[in-house]
């Protein structure tokens, strides 16, 4: 579930996670470990879908950094997610991210298996969106051969990434270049993203997106719009997200969202979701949640889920 607040999103890949447990710190070496475990009892939107247990996240994130002096730092990250092994018996490798990099002041560069710049985009607040999170999510938001640069200037966050035209683990070739920019002014967060994807021996697919959200204190409201122009098929697909969050108490929050997808020569699809999250007051990293969602497609039943999340 993404966050509407830009302050949460504006964090360099070199910074590690603010929620990470520091396992070791001595002589300029820092080792941090994150865990994120989420299990759901879920029934998908659709026609007569079955109830099942879904392992949404079973992540362990390892982060190491060395202080090189002169405001410079070397870092590396290896993230493992075992959800695919738990869900389907292990057809996917657990390696989610694996990269190294250097940071100098507010600028960092990294190389390896990691997220594209466009992965930072989006305001949706669903545990499981009725449609894709955004148009970037429907194409690609991570790669195995990625070069990425982050610039975090407090209220301005810039990201550039490039996926080399090399054969990945699925045997698919292609080249991606992504840009992301965001800023926050007096509670108003603004962001924009652009991706150009060039499949092998085909014309490029260009995707752009813009978003805005505002924090009212006890509530937040946001919207994003992204669109893909495929010159190979002469088809344009766009996706609109609108989401709102409300703090009912200091331990309970509610999120409501609507999505609308438009595609040339195809009927529009509208989806909606509503969820509630309870964070245990003794430990806010332990939470329970429930969500309902649906679309206006024919012959579909309401989808729902309930689950628990434990992280550190």
Mean pLDDT check: name the lowest of 5-9, 18-22, 67-71, 145-149.
Answer: 5-9
SS3 assignment, position 129 = coil
Residue pLDDT, tens place only, 151-178: 999 889 999 999 998 765 555 568 999 9
SS3 assignment, position 279 = strand
Q: Is 6-311 assigned to CATH 3.40.50.300?
A: no
> What is the C-alpha to C-alpha distance for residues 129 and 223, in angstroms, rounded to an integer?
15
Cβ atoms of 109 and 86 closer than 8 Å: no
Average pLDDT, the chain: 91
Residue pLDDT, tens place only, 247-305: 999 999 999 999 999 999 889 999 999 999 999 999 999 999 999 999 999 988 999 99
Dihedral pair phi/psi, residue 203, rounded to 5°: -75, 160
Contacts of 158 (CB under 8 A, 6+ apart): 150, 151, 180, 181
Taking the complete model, does pTM exceed 0.85, yes or no? Answer: yes
Cβ atoms of 113 and 140 closer than 8 Å: no
What ranges do the domains of the chain cover? 6-311
Cβ atoms of 291 and 305 closer than 8 Å: yes
């Amino acid at each position: 579930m993404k966050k509407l607040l830009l302050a949460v999103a504006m964090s360099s890949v070199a910074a590690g996670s603010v929620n990470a447990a520091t396992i070791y710190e001595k002589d300029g070496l820092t080792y941090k470990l994150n865990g994120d475990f989420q299990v759901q009892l879920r029934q998908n939107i659709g026609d007569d879908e079955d109830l099942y247990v879904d392992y949404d996240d079973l992540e362990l994130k390892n982060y190491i950094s060395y202080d090189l002096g002169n405001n410079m730092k070397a870092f590396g990250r290896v993230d493992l997610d075992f959800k695919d092994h738990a869900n389907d018996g292990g057809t996917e490798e657990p390696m989610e991210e694996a990269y190294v990099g250097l940071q100098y002041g507010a600028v960092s560069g990294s190389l390896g298996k990691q997220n594209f710049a466009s992965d930072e985009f989006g305001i949706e607040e669903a545990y499981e969106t009725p449609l894709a999170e955004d148009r970037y999510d429907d194409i690609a938001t991570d790669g195995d051969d990625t070069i990425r640069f982050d610039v975090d200037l407090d209220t301005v966050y810039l990201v550039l990434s490039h996926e080399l035209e090399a054969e990945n683990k699925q045997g698919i070739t292609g080249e991606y270049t992504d840009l992301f920019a965001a800023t926050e002014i007096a509670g108003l967060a603004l962001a924009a993203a652009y991706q150009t994807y060039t499949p092998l021996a085909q014309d490029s697919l260009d995707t752009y997106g813009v978003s805005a959200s505002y924090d009212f204190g006890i509530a937040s409201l946001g919207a994003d719009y992204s669109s893909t122009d495929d010159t190979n098929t002469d088809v344009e697909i766009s996706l609109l997200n609108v989401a709102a969050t409300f703090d009912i108490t200091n331990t309970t929050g509610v999120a409501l969202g609507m999505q609308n997808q438009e595609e040339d020569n195809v009927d529009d699809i509208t989806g909606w979701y509503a969820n509630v999250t309870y964070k245990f007051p003794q430990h806010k990293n332990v939470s329970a949640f429930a969500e309902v969602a649906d679309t206006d497609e024919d012959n579909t039943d309401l989808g729902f889920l309930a689950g628990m999340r434990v992280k550190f």
